[in-house]
Amino acid sequence: MLDATVIIVGGGPAGSSCAWKLQENGIECLILDKQKFPRTKLCAGWITPEVIEDLKMDIHDYPYSLTKFNRFHIHLPHKEMTLNVRQYAIRRYEFDNWLIRRAGIKVVTHDVREIRKDGDEYVIDDRYRCHYLVGAGGTYCPVYRSFYKYSNPRPQKSLVTTLEEEFPYDYQDVDCHLWFLQHKLPGYSWYVPKTDGYLNVGIGGFLYKLKSNNDTIVKQWRLFIDELKRLSLVTDHHFHERGYNYYIQHPTDIVQNDRLFLIGDSAGLATKDMGEGIGPAIRSGILAANAIISGKSLSLRSVKKYSFPKYPTLLKLLLAYLFKVKK
């Protein structure tokens, strides 16, 4: 049996940020992840300035691809506009590996299946034992499944379904493009070029709305690919898209039970307007570490609910259109 003070299940941005903070404060921890790093994670890799601040990242020292966007090209039905922004993109294959190495802690490749409470401790697959257990395993987190499924149910109305592909591509347009309200998609689509010659294109939307429209994400994906071709953004590529589902923030937020914590996608923390989950995952990981260090309760109040606070996406876009659009 391997003993650790804290075991974190999942080494994505939530788990590795939690480990980073614990390690900085001299608290011994271990990450168990079913995949060996570096690993592929389906994600457009858009990160905000808050992420860079939370991670105390010096962008000049970041050793991999980090793309800076000064504008987003927005496509609305019958209307196009340019939104001035200061945003970034990374490749999750590189970023997650960098985060986990930077945390400087022990990472074991292990697919967690069974977790039980044994007195004051948690025992994982009869091989690992800990005093604090942190669930950071994403949508299908076994900590959520074992301990929070009933106390923290995830509403089906919060479930987002996606399809995407990231591939090497000799793209010509270096801007990030976003499409809203196309073909009644209850979500949005994206084109995110990365500095090292990779391109990420994808589409996401609420599953229950797609179903009630008698629509599917696959049908929407085909329409999106046609649009990419029509605009000559991607012309000569045979797509191998893949899908993943995750939850945006919803009202029930029981994320701590004694010495058991839930962070990132396993707690369903992505923003309500844009489904941005990297920032909330990192912030919640840091907050969970602080709760363990201080012995105080975990509060996720400072995890943002909206990527564009105060305004629902469309209103924000329309305001931007009226006040600072460059045609």
* Closer residue to ligand FAD, CB minimum distance, 88 or 169: 88
Q: How far is CA 156 from CA 45, 159, 268, 294, in A?
A: 25, 5, 12, 35
Does residue 186 interact with ligand FAD by CB under 6 A?
no
Min. distance of Cβ 163 from ligand FAD in angstroms? 7
Instruction: Find out whether 228 and 236 touch, Cβ atoms under 8 Å.
Output: no
Binding range to ligand FAD, per CB under 6 A, among 133-141, 150-158, 216-224, 290-298: 133-141
Does residue 166 interact with ligand FAD by CB under 6 A?
no
* Closer residue to ligand FAD, CB minimum distance, 13 or 193: 13
* Closer residue to ligand FAD, CB minimum distance, 49 or 79: 49
In 3-state terms, what secondary structure has residue 159? Answer: strand
Of 7, 10, 241, 317, the one binding ligand FAD (CB under 6 A) is 10
Tell me how many residues contact ligand FAD (CB under 6 A): 39
Q: Which residue from 35, 17, 32 is spatially nearest to 130, judged by alpha carbons?
A: 32
Instruction: Find out whether 203 and 164 touch, Cβ atoms under 8 Å.
Output: yes
Does residue 279 interact with ligand FAD by CB under 6 A?
yes
Question: Between 220 and 249, how does the x/- string for binding to ligand FAD read (CB under 6 A)?
Answer: ------------------------x-x---
Instruction: Find out whether 164 and 202 touch, Cβ atoms under 8 Å.
Output: yes
Does residue 205 interact with ligand FAD by CB under 6 A?
no
Give strand ranges (E) for the chain.
2-9, 29-33, 46-47, 66-76, 79-90, 106-109, 115-118, 121-124, 128-135, 159-168, 176-180, 187-193, 198-206, 242-247, 256-257, 260-262
Min. distance of Cβ 263 from ligand FAD in angstroms? 7
Binding range to ligand FAD, per CB under 6 A, among 137-145, 173-181, 211-219, 231-239: 137-145
Q: Alpha-carbon distance 272 to 65, whole Å? A: 27
Instruction: Please state whether beta strands 115-118 and 242-247 pair in parallel, antiparallel, or not at all (unpaired).
Output: unpaired
Binding range to ligand FAD, per CB under 6 A, among 123-131, 212-220, 231-239, 271-279: 271-279
- Within residues 40-79, the interface with ligand FAD by CB under 6 A covers 41-46
Q: How far is CA 36 from CA 39, 116, 181, 286, in A?
A: 6, 24, 38, 23
Does residue 123 interact with ligand FAD by CB under 6 A?
no
Min. distance of Cβ 31 from ligand FAD in angstroms? 9
Does residue 189 interact with ligand FAD by CB under 6 A?
no
- Within residues 23-42, the interface with ligand FAD by CB under 6 A covers 32-35, 41-42
- Within residues 280-299, the interface with ligand FAD by CB under 6 A covers 281
Q: Alpha-carbon distance 166 to 91, whole Å? A: 9
DSSP label of 304: -
Contacts of 172 (CB under 8 A, 6+ apart): 232
Contacts of 242 (CB under 8 A, 6+ apart): 42, 163, 164, 165
* Closer residue to ligand FAD, CB minimum distance, 11 or 205: 11
Binding range to ligand FAD, per CB under 6 A, among 18-26, 66-74, 139-147, 249-257: 139-147
Min. distance of Cβ 166 from ligand FAD in angstroms? 9
Kindly list the residues in this chain that would bind ligand FAD in the complex (CB under 6 A).
9-15, 32-35, 41-46, 111-112, 136-138, 140-142, 162, 164, 202, 204, 244, 246, 264-265, 270, 276-279, 281
